[in-house]
Amino acid sequence: MAGRSVGTQGDPIRVALVVSRLQRGGLEQVLLDVAQGLTPRGFRFEVVALHGAGERDGDFEAAGIAVTHLAGRPRIASVVANFVCWAKLLGVLHRIRPHVVQTHLFFGGTLGRIAARAAGVPVVVQADHNFYA
């Protein structure tokens, strides 16, 4: 299938990447590399960062990958902050209507999977980043 468009009728497959923030690190570089590699093959990526702007935002935007900041403050001890962040994320997912949501790390994974299911996203993938993965 190399070089073929994988979207229906040539439409791109929309993928939302849910992360806490785009800092400098291995996760961010992998996401950028994957998005750049798959975009010519019929995928369209959008990064949804739960927190505010991060150091790598410009790298993604320069590559043509949209970045949405929720400016949320998810915290383990704050049900209200987590709910507000989840509600914002749910709104973004309804707007971009992704075919796939890929979530990363603790808050991105937890809030992202719940919001993706609530939004009716057909494919939800959690990528683990730890010593065991």
The chain-wide mean pLDDT, for the chain, equals 88
d(CA 27, CA 122): 24
Chain centroid to CA 131:
22
Task: Tell me whether strands 66-69 and 100-104 are parallel, antiparallel or unpaired.
Answer: unpaired
pTM of the model: 0.87
Query: Looking at residue 27, what is its pLDDT?
Result: 87
Give yes or no for residue 30 having a pLDDT over 60.
Answer: yes
Average pLDDT over residues 105-131: 90
Per-residue confidence band for 5, with pLDDT thresholds at 50, 70 and 90: very low
3-class SS of residue 106: helix
CB 101 within 8 A of CB 123: yes
Model confidence at 4: pLDDT above 90: no
For position 107, what pLDDT does the model report?
A: 85
Domains and CATH numbers, the chain: 10-127 (3.40.50.2000)
Mean pLDDT of 121-130: 88
Reading the block at residue 101, the tokens are 């949501």
